[in-house]
Amino acid sequence: MDREFVTIAGFSALFLMMALRVPVGIAMAVVGIGGFGAVVGMEQALRLVALSPLSTATTYHLAMIPMFILMGAFATRSGMSRELFRAAEAWLGHRRGGLALSTIASCAGFAAISGSSIATAATLTKVALPEMRRVGYCDSVSSGVIAAGGTVGILIPPSIVLAVYGIITEQNIGTLFIAGLVPGLLAVALYMLTVTLIAHLRPASMPVGTRHSWGEAFAALRSVWAIGLLFVLVVGGIYLGVVTPTEAAALGACGALAIGLARRRLDRKAIMECLIDSLRVSVSIFVVFMGALLFSYFLAITQTPQNVADYLTSLPVNRYVIMLLILLLYLLLGCVLDSMAMVVLTVPILFPVVTQLGFDPIWFGVMVVVAIELGLITPPIGMNVFVINSAQKDIKLTTIYRGVMPFIAIDVVRMGLLLAFPAITLFLPSLM
């Protein structure tokens, strides 16, 4: 069968199934098997079905994903997220907009033990939103701050999305983690700047919180030692080359479990619930991976990545114009797709384009995550927006969208800075 026809039919079927709410992993698997079988025969395609899922499930590097998820589950169940918010509130809450600043700082801290944007947004909705409402923050500001702050969960290391990107593109995952640190901190700084400007322009929307004594502030700060320890174990170990990312993930999960047990916040029931929750999330990610592997055979046999790369690199335009189009594509996909689905679906196709254009693959990985972050809060969907809405039913979607608009604007500025100055991303990895 003609390969161009198979390519068009395959992608049409993929988008149709996604529109019909078929899980992305299943949709990619069906298209991968059908497309590969249409070109070389169904017997060979069915052999892939027998071998590929097993090879995916037993890949050593993928073991870091359930370990990082388990670390976040243990840390959350141990109350670290609430302690983190209390400490940030003790230091920043007395300022106008202080609780919003505390929320962003808490998002950054929780990202260091979570690696998931959705988990960060969901956790801070439960912890920070009631406090901001109690003080008198308007719902649009409080929900917008949480939605935007939650996006740093997939950039500040350890990042599950960056790990998946590294596995797909065969890039050093430790280097990707370190490359995401400065852009992640830049996001935190710009979000805090945005909150400060909103507090200055609309003071009624952000009342002044309670002032704490120096003793209370330092006492609250002492309670977050566990998060600092886990961050040093995981990120510090990777940066110094003491452990591999997979080993760091296992070390982080064991460390979170040990801390929870030592502080008597994890009993047998809580540990089992953490294991079950982590298993559910991990299995959903592995299903996407298995589907992506089968889909990659379809891409290879139809030579889709090579054809796309040849077409885009032959265009008579500057390479940065093509990069802007790629980032715009991620922004649009981020409005309707989960971050993991976007990465496994698009990176195998676009990565050859980026490398042929001469862009650094580590830098591109961070740019992909930054674009995905922006898509997580961009209408008409925005996954973080829906997470907050599902956790807090009385806040309308339009209210949350109104609150995230200033953060969308500042994210566009951040993307422009990272695009214009790649050294912001690549400076720390160059020191490893």
What pLDDT digit, counting tens, does each position of 29-82 carry? 899 898 888 888 888 888 888 777 777 777 788 888 889 889 888 988 888 888
Cα gap 295→36, rounded to integer Å: 9
C-alpha span between 78 and 384 (Å, rounded) = 23
Is the pLDDT confidence value at 338 over 90?
A: no
Single out the residue of 184, 161, 111 nearest to residue 424, CA to CA. Answer: 184
Mean pLDDT score, 379-385: 78
Q: What is the pLDDT of residue 276?
A: 92
Instruction: Give me the mean pLDDT over the 218-239 stretch.
Output: 83
- Average pLDDT of span 243-266: 90
Residue pointed to by tokens 């992506």: 292
SS3 for 208?
A: strand
Please, what sign has the CA dihedral across residues 205, 389, 122, 107? negative
Whats the size of the chain, residue-wise? 432
Average pLDDT, the chain: 86
Poorest-pLDDT segment among 131-145, 169-183, 187-201: 131-145
Question: At residue 183, does pLDDT exceed 90?
Answer: yes
Could you give the 3-state DSSP secondary structure of residue 331?
helix
pLDDT of residue 231: 86
pLDDT at 1: 61
Amino acid at 386: F
Report the distance separating Cα 105 and Cα 221, nearest Å.
13
Closest CA to 81 of 321, 256, 251, 316: 256
Q: Whole-angstrom Cα distance, residue 312 to residue 118? A: 33
Give CA–CA dist 76/84, Å, rounded: 11
The Cβ of residue 422 has, within 10 Å, a number of other Cβ atoms equal to 16
The pLDDT, as a whole number, for residue 176 is: 93
Mean predicted confidence (pLDDT) in 169-185: 91
CA distances to 27, 342, 372 from 291, rounded to whole Å, are 7, 13, 21
CB 88 within 8 Å of CB 102: yes
Asked if 341 contacts 27 with a C-beta cutoff of 8 angstroms, the reply is no
Write out the DSSP string of 233-287: IIIIHHHHTSS-HHHHHHHHHHHHHHHHHHTT---HHHHHHHHHHHHHHHHHHHH
Quick check: 220 pLDDT over 90?
Answer: no
Per DSSP, the three-state class of 382 is coil
Phi (first) and psi of residue 37, to 5 degrees: -65, -35
What is the rounded CA–CA span in Å between residue 109 and residue 123? Answer: 12
pLDDT value at 426 more than 90: yes
pLDDT at 337 exceeding the cut of 80? no
Whether the link from the prior residue into 158 is cis, omega within 30° of 0, is yes
Q: Are 14 and 28 in contact (CB under 8 A)?
A: yes
Residue whose pair of structure tokens reads 């490893």 in the numeric block: 432
Instruction: Kindly state the average pLDDT of the residues 329-334.
Output: 80
